[in-house]
Amino acid sequence: MPARAPQLPLGVAEMDEDHARLEAMMEAAALVVESDLAAALAAVQRELAAHFVREETLLAEAGFPALGCHVAQHRRLLELAAEAMATSAARPAELRGFLADVLPGLVAGHIASIDRVSAEFLNGRISGAMFGSLRAAGQGAAS
Ligand SMILES: [Fe+2]
């Protein structure tokens, strides 16, 4: 059980517990002394990657129709974290800003969008057929 609730509970225990843990980690990481910032970001990166694997497994097992899109967003978040690590190692103020504001904002946006849709699917409130309808409507609009 997490020590606290996530900022945006989605009603899927595995996701909510991971999100609460990540949010706590990012908050704590942003407060460490300067010399520990890179290690704190590395720990957040590892937890983020492990969470993404768990979430992708859950969604793959459930047959989530937009898994490819969701996985692509996970990859992009990991790339951004790696870029921050690579470019900000010698700039602690930037690294702290990334941990305190940028990454939490990106993660919150991800949770509020594709994670939310994914949780609705896992909870049976959006069906695979609805995704098919949306895809067909999108293709019609594009032509
Ligand atoms: Fe996700």
CATH superfamily, region 13-142: Hemerythrin-like (1.20.120.50)
- Give me the pLDDT at residue 2, please: 46
- Give me the pLDDT at residue 110, please: 98
Q: Where do the domains of the chain lie?
A: 13-142
DSSP H or E segment with residue 118: helix 116-122
CA of 132 to the centre of ligand 1 (A): 21
CA of 35 to the centre of ligand 1 (A): 30
- Give me the pLDDT at residue 136, please: 78
- Give me the pLDDT at residue 121, please: 96
CA of 110 to the centre of ligand 1 (A): 6
CA of 70 to the centre of ligand 1 (A): 6
Q: Given its phi and psi angles, is residue 63 left (phi above 0), alpha (psi -120 to 50 degrees) or beta?
A: left
DSSP for 72-97, written as a single string: HHHHHHHHHHHHHHHHHTT-HHHHHH
- CA–CA distance, 19 with 34 (Å, rounded to integer): 25
Ligand 1 is an ion; its neighbours by CB within 5 Å are: 55, 115
Q: How far is CA 52 from CA 26, 60, 65, 130, 142, in A?
A: 16, 12, 17, 25, 31
Nearest by Cα to 29 from 18, 43, 17: 43
- Give me the pLDDT at residue 141, please: 66
Digit-by-digit pLDDT tens for the chain (143 residues) are 446 899 999 999 999 999 999 999 999 999 999 999 999 999 999 999 999 999 999 999 999 999 999 999 999 999 999 998 888 767 889 899 999 999 999 999 999 999 999 999 999 998 888 877 777 777 776 55
Q: pTM, whole model, 2 decimals? A: 0.89
CA of 21 to the centre of ligand 1 (A): 14
